Amino acid sequence: NTKRKPIVIANWKLNGGLELICTSVASFIGKHFEADIAICPPYIYMRDMLTFLQHSEISIGSQNVSKFKSGAYTGETSAQMLKEAGCKLCLIGHSERRSMFKENNLSCQIKIGNALNHGLMPILCVGENKEEHDAKITKDVIFRQVTECLEGVELDGRKICIAYEPIWAIGTGASATPEIAQDVHSFIRQELIKLYGEETANSIRLLYGGSVTKDNAKDLLAKEDVDGLLVGGASLDPGHFLAICQHA
């Protein structure tokens, strides 16, 4: 882990409101972190959070980005708009978007291109479901997701992160063990080496997500290829999220 700066990202999903914004801002302002820290609130709160956190070390990210650039696409928000608003990164292909909003590897690939072209750092989410996990085909699933989402994606020095979020661990309280996370992350790293060569692959940060808490964060981050954490439920409690960030 000495090569890569850790990164911790909060994904608020469809949660939060003015009260959470205020308590989060109060907890994070004026603090120094060894890791990169970002919060992905619902779109509607981004501008407020950006204003409140402008002198802090916290970045703001989005939970999604449109695959379209502009036009008649009701309800969408483009990469360019997110960039203009002050966003630094965006989650792409979260399992909830794949399962409930029909996203697939091809749409992720387009979104990654849009994000990179507008200077947003994509956080590509991948992960197998419970059935696939039980059938021990995790690596086949991850291989397909990684190779199809990154097909034709040229990095040219631009940054991307990959978040491994096993679906069976999301919101269940049953986090993957640090060993499982490391095993899958090192597999992803090997695939990235094939796609981008050793130097680039070794610079890409791999995050783990799925029931991360302040109690398991340290052991997960201790693994060689676990370079960061993507936190859902525990990020809705600012004190808890702060404790996780301080482990990184």
| Residue ranges binding ligand G3P (CB under 6 A) | 11, 94, 165, 170-171, 209-212, 230-234
- In angstroms, give the least distance from the CB of 70 to ligand G3P: 27
**CA atoms within 13 A of residue 81's CA, in its CB half-sphere:** 17
94 has catalytic annotation:
yes
Angle at the Cα of 113 from the Cα atoms of 123 and 96, rounded to 5 degrees: 45
What's the token pair of residue 18? 């003015």
Which single residue brings its beta carbon nearest to ligand G3P?
232
**Nearest to ligand G3P of 40, 196 (CB atom):** 40
User: Residue 8 Cβ, how far from ligand G3P at the closest point, in Å?
Assistant: 11
Give me the least distance between CB of 98 and ligand G3P, in Å please: 11
The nearer residue to ligand G3P, 90 or 231, going by C-beta atoms, is 231
Q: Return the number of the residue (38 or 196) whose C-beta is nearest ligand G3P.
A: 38
Catalytic residue among 103, 128, 132, 165: 165
Cβ–Cβ under 8 Å, residues 35 and 228: yes
Nearer to ligand G3P, 185 or 196 (CB): 185
Gyration radius from the chain CA atoms: 17
Nearest approach in angstroms of CB 244 to ligand G3P is: 10
Of 94, 118, 133, 240, which is the active-site residue? 94
Between CA 18 and CA 28 the distance in angstroms is: 15
List of residues 6+ apart from 145 with CB closer than 8 A: 93, 105, 108, 126, 127
Q: Which residue has the tokens 């801002």?
A: 25
Residues recognised as catalytic: 94, 165
